[in-house]
Structure 1
Amino acid sequence: MSEETVVKIDVYTSARPQDVEKSGNVQTHEKVDLDKILVEEVGQFGKYQILTVLLAALPVIFSAFAAGEYIFTTARIPSRCLIPECDPDLPEYLPSWISNAIPNEENSNTIDNCQRYPTATITNSSNVCPAYWFNNELKVNCEAYVYENDLSVVYDFDMACDEWRRSLIGSIRTVGTLLVLPITGYISDRWGRRVALTLNAFNTGWIGLVRSFVNSYEWFLTLEVLESTIGAGAYSSCYILVTELVGPQYRVVVGATMSTLFAVGQVILGLIAWAVPQWRSLTQAVYAPQLLVVSYFWILSESVRWLMSKGRYEESEEILKKVAKRNNKVLSEKSLEALRATAEAEKTREKPKEVWLPLQVIRSRLILFRCIVSPIWWITNTLIYYGMSINAVNLSGNRYVNYIAVAAVEIPGYWTAILLLDRIGRKPVLIIGYWMCAACQFAFAFMPEGNDGLSLTFYLIGKFCIAMVMTSVYVYTAELFPTKYRHSLFAFASMVGRLGSITAPLTPALASEVWEQLPSVMFGGFALLSGLLIFTTPETLGTNLPDTMEEAENISKN
């Protein structure tokens, strides 16, 4: 990142009592510029920051586990009608007589999952379930089912042909991820990034473990939405914490590292699911370790930038000293004096009553417009990103390999964004990414049959592009809003964007029940629209990260 892109926190301070002269004039001490301290004194990305990123890797990977686990635990299971007149007490899935009782699907050698031939006349026969027992001119719906395996909740909750009920599990989970963002944003801005991180990770762990023991569809849904509502904010907490700790030149790189770790978590999840396919065991395997993250409350340091925004300068000084010591640097006496003077001033300064944040946004036409436009980007991102991951397991071939490949291709997408964001700007990267993704989605949707290799290529390029966009939107959205309210406004855009992830789990049902190409056409249409909307917001390359509403407005003016 260029030297001019500075995360600047100018703390507006009042004078100490001894600075007030008889004339009544107030002298102010020098403002504390955290980025200047990071760049010139304690280090932008030294051993301390590297250790923090490594520690943050664990909850980020666990967040990927929690976000994708339902793709495997609620996966389709091949099923067929139970044939009472033929099946024994413990029926096998594909007995030799099956084609006599159940039709093959059109243009396929696979049997129909949801229908059977009705019984015609049953007579004594030396054959097992002969063809003349069934009327193959008619089809009737199943009354009961035989499953190929019991690996997902589809077996436990008898959802063989109930595609919408199965898909609802993923959607109801993402309703919780919509609710968690403002909750986490409030906790993070009020009590700190570290508190938000450990609270979310702990809640995810214990609720996920409880869910692995339930035997009721209703309880399973309830725990899904509860887990995501009070536990799915760990990733955003990690993202904010680490990006606020590093210097301006490394902010984008660290953001991409967080996204990369999330993709690595998805790859690991695919491997675990492949090794532990039974859903209860899989859930326990991926959720139990998440309880360890509660220890981070004592291991991790709080965000210095957040502490400063809350006027807690003594604590900021202690953490900056630790950073300097670990990075083999020295915090200058000038900076220490500025921190102490600011801390003293904060004790005597009367803090003005703040206007309610929604009113501040409404009063600012530019900020209000960004709060309207940015959620549309996020809806597009989550719809395509999660939709492509979910539908990957329905592509031809091994579903675990497909999921791993679609997750792994995100990683070069993130780092392509890093190479381009500081060279050609945020807006060109986003526009190119959105429109390339749209082109790939339309190409995949209308590819003639028999081109599986080419279809998979377009699918992977589309996921590469949306990954590039995802990292860029994280950076770009954060740069459009002021420091004091960044997490809250960032969380608002991401929260509304969860409408996309709520819709994404329904796309397999839309493909099977409405039109096979509908999901890809939806993805392409939203990507085209979002690329156009990027033209309406300002370029942030080379600008200071705004601290106040006024500074955020000035990005457009400048």
Structure 2
Amino acid sequence: MASTKNGESDNSDTGNTGVDLDLILVQEIGQFGRYQLITLALASLPAIFGGFTGEYIFTAARVPTRCRIPQCDPDVPHPEFRPEWVLNAIPGIGVDDFDDCTRYADRSYQTPGNETCPVSWFSSTIISCEDHVYENTYSVVYDFRLACDEWRRSLIGTIRTVGTLVVLPITGYISDRWGRRVALSINAFNTGWIGLVRSFVNTYEWFLALQVLEACLGAGGFSSCYILVTELVGPKYRVIAGATLSTMFAVGQVLLGLIAWGVPSWRPLTQILYAPQLIVVSYFWILSESVRWLMSKGRYEESEAILLKVAKTNKREISEKSLKLLRAVEEIGNQTTTVNEPWLPALVFRSRVMLLRCAVSPILWITMTLVYYGMAINSVNLSGNQYLNYVFVSAIEIPGYWTAILLLDRIGRKPVLICAYWMCAVCQFSFGFMPEGMDTLSLVVYLIGKYSISVVVTSLYVYTAELFPTKYRHSLFAFSSMVGRLGSITAPITPALAQEVWNPLPSVLFGSFALLSGLLLFTTPETLGTKLPDSMEEAEHITSRRIRT
């Protein structure tokens, strides 16, 4: 909703009925009082659980393997992973490492001797493993025998991300049809029970099927919380409330890394992460429904009851005049006639400006999701403790979110986004080609890159909403977000690209997209200090709609 110079809203969202929920929040019951604070605190728990959605990074983590050498390894389920003779039978890599997937072929005749598995038993011919020894049994890679099958392992993360693409329209429909609380409760219930069932499966196919089913039916909990909270607070605090929930998501990722460190085995880890999520089902009875949603459905008695409850909790009062105006919305809404409007794609293709904008915005989103999720997934492959690396890479998001909040209204949307994208690109290229042996510096560069893309995350949500007109903002924003999921779908296979194709390839890919996105931003307008456009024409000339001060 646009605001005028003196802070009064233009009432365009209410059909000129003379009532504005934002004004009621600002002038009467409070934009962010005790009631909103309690709601935000309750919503923080599902947001934290949302951070657990990356559990496949640990439950399907790569496990170091080597070939089983029948004549050398004892006939036990878990022989020693690094015996003294290993480099006699398996090709070495670097100083003291060895190949995961190949071995030296046996000689036709093996001379008996006192030495265990001597080099004379093997030829120089390299062959693939027939069986494997695993360094640990923590991951599904061991249970489902996925050693050296990097693409099937990576498919677990990719298929889950495809499920999150499906859940967006499903959750949106449930939320708009039956309410935010219903959407949140259904998502929490599905996530909890499907995650628990998955912890007991014994085949790769069932694990994969339940992974995508959980994402399709339960991955919309965070978005439900986000909408519920932002629809309840006043305009001054919406960005801060959203950043707080994003921070809680990052806290959830940090907790995920710490819990996985303490409970590394994938079955009990999955149970610990998913069982508590069933608690959120109780929010259907604890949380109040969104007033805005209730009003949109003509349920004004419930809207009034909640507004009175908010006012009482915040120790404020709502005027009788406002309540009467709220009731008048239904009458005016019933008298409104529906006007046939042109098809949205046709409107976009008629305007070169909007067509360009609708082409650029999805690329910005693809870059954001590709780099954000790709860096989280690849963090466990950094040198050092994989759990701490993931914790550090997750925690660095928090200052990134709040840096965006501090800078967006001071220096503008485009400068923040361009600098963040390009800083990320520099870090990606530097990390990809950094010499070996510089582990500490590599981690620092990696963290700066994740900080930069976290600045992009918050900034891009704000900027995208401001580029499009009110009438079509939700549809065009959703289009950018949906196409942007191509990035998060691709991100899980980037470790396989590093393993099978070229080690620096993920970093080069991330850096190239970030560099391109920074350049593309020069084709879009600055929106700082402008009124939100209501029509296509206003969106085309957005820079001429600056608010005068």
What TM-score results when the alignment is normalised by the length of structure 1?
0.90
Q: Say whether the 8 Å CA contact 2:144–2:203 is kept in structure 1.
A: yes
Amino acid paired to 2:438: N
Aligned counterparts, 1:107-506, within 5 A? 107-120=94-107, 121-135=109-123, 137-346=124-333, 348-352=334-338, 358=344, 362=348, 365=351, 369-481=356-468, 486-506=473-493
Classify the secondary structure of the residue corresponding to 1:146. Answer: strand
SS at match of 1:139: strand
Summarize the Cα distance change of 1:55–1:228 in structure 2 as closer, same or farther, 3 Å threshold: same
What is the aligned-residue RMSD (CA, Å)? 2.5
CA deviation digits over 1:332-385, x for unaligned, max 9? 222112112223333x42552665874576477355554433221111111001
Stretches of structure 2 that go unaligned for 5 or more consecutive residues are none
> Which amino acid counterpart does residue 63 of structure 1 have in structure 2?
G
Q: Which amino acid aligns with 1:294?
A: V
Cα distance in 1, alignment partners of residues 539 and 300 from structure 2:
24
Contact 2:4 2:10 in 1 (8 A): no
Residues 414-463 of structure 1 deviation map (CA, whole Å, 9 limit, x = unaligned): 11111111212222211111111111111212223332222221111110
TM-superposed CA distance for 1:10, in Å, is 3.3
- Are residue 87 (structure 1) and residue 87 (structure 2) matched? no
Could you tell me which of 9, 12, 35 is aligned with 1:10?
12
Distance 1:312 1:536 in 2: 44
Following TM superposition, by how much is the alpha carbon of 1:477 offset from its aligned partner in structure 2, in angstroms? 2.4
Shift of 1:318: 2.2
Instruction: Decide whether aligned partners of structure 1 residues 550 and 193 sit closer, same or farther in structure 2, where only a CA change above 3 A counts.
Output: farther
Q: 1:310 and 1:549 mapped to 2: Cα distance?
A: 27
Counterparts of 2:534 and 2:299 in 1: how far apart (Å)?
17
Aligned partner of residue 402 in structure 1, secondary structure: helix
Q: Is the 8 A contact 1:438 1:524 kept in 2?
A: yes
Match of 1:26 in 2: none
**Helix, strand or coil for the counterpart of 1:128?**
coil
Cα distance in 1 between the residues matched to 2:85 and 2:436: 31
Q: Relative to structure 1, is the Cα distance of residues 119 and 363 closer, same or farther in structure 2, using a 3 angstrom cutoff?
A: closer
> 1:58 corresponds to which residue?
45
What is the Cα deviation at residue 501 of structure 1?
0.8
Q: Pick which of 188-197 and 545-554 moved more.
A: 545-554
Spell out, residue by residue over 1:178-229, the C-alpha distance to the aligned partner (whole angstroms, 9 max, x if none).
1212222233233332222222222111111111111111111111111111
Give 2:86's aligned amino acid.
I
SS at structure 1 position matched to 2:95 = coil
Determine if contact 2:60/2:139 at 8 Å carries over to the other structure: yes
- Match for 1:72 among 58, 69, 72? 58
Matching residue's letter, 1:114 = C
- 1:96 maps to which of 68, 84, 90: 84
Shift of 1:144: 0.4
More off after superposition, 188-197 vs 524-533: 188-197
Over 3 Å counting, the alpha-carbon distance change for 1:9 and 1:315 in structure 2 is farther
**How far apart are residue 37 of structure 1 and its match?**
1.3
Distance across 2 between alignment mates of 1:502 and 1:167: 11
Contact 2:3 2:10 in 1 (8 A): no
**In structure 2, distance between residues paired with 1:419 and 1:10:** 29
| Alpha-carbon contact 2:35-2:314 (below 8 Å) kept | yes
Conserved? CA contact 1:379–1:499, under 8 Å: yes
CA distance in 1, matches of 2:225, 2:255: 19
Contact kept? 1:2, 1:249, Cα under 8 Å = no
| Kept in 2: contact 1:212–1:283 (CA 8 A) | yes
Give the Cα separation in 1 of the matches to 2:96 and 2:41. Answer: 50
User: C-alpha displacement at 1:308, in angstroms?
Assistant: 3.2
Matches of 1:552 and 1:38, distance apart in 2: 28
Which secondary structure does the structure 2 equivalent of 1:186 belong to? Answer: helix
- Whichever residue aligns with residue 503 of structure 1, its letter is T
Alignment match of 1:43 (pick from 24, 30, 44)? 30
Unmatched tracts of structure 1, length 5 or more: 14-28
**Could you tell me how far apart the structure 2 residues matched to 1:542 and 1:167 are?**
44
Between the aligned partners of 1:483 and 1:302, the Cα distance in structure 2 is 24
Return the alpha-carbon distance in structure 1 between the equivalents of residues 337 and 287 of structure 2: 29
Shift of 1:485: 5.8
**Displacement of 1:405 after TM fit?**
0.5
Deviates more, 1:110-119 or 1:412-421: 110-119
Shift of 1:473: 1.2
Equivalent residues of 1:426, 1:539 under 8 A apart: yes
Higher relative contact order (CA 8 A, sep 6+): 1
**Which amino acid in 1 is paired with 2:313?**
R
Q: Secondary structure at the match of 1:220?
A: helix
Please, what TM-score do these two structures have when normalized by structure 2? Answer: 0.92
Q: Deviations over 1:54-87 (max 9, x none)?
A: 1111111111102x10000111111111111222
Which secondary structure state, in structure 2, belongs to the residue aligned with residue 117 of structure 1? Answer: strand
- What's the % identity of the aligned pairs? 68
In 1, Cα distance between equivalents of 2:366 and 2:317: 45
Q: Which moved more, 1:461-470 or 1:431-440?
A: 431-440
Q: Is the 8 A contact 1:47 1:326 kept in 2?
A: yes
SS in 2 for 1:151: coil
Q: Residue 41 of structure 1: CA displacement?
A: 1.0
Relative distance call for 1:301 and 1:10 in structure 2 (3 A) is: farther
Equivalent pair of 1:8/1:547 in contact (CA under 8 Å): no
Q: How many residues align?
A: 539
CA distance in 2, matches of 1:312, 1:547: 26
CA shift at 1:466, angstroms?
0.3
Distance 1:431 1:447, change over 3 A: same
Cα gap change, 1:457 to 1:493, in 2 (>3 Å): same
Q: Which moved more, 1:79-88 or 1:545-554?
A: 545-554
Aligned partners of 2:137 and 2:61: how far apart in 1? 11
The letter for the 1-side match of 2:379 is A
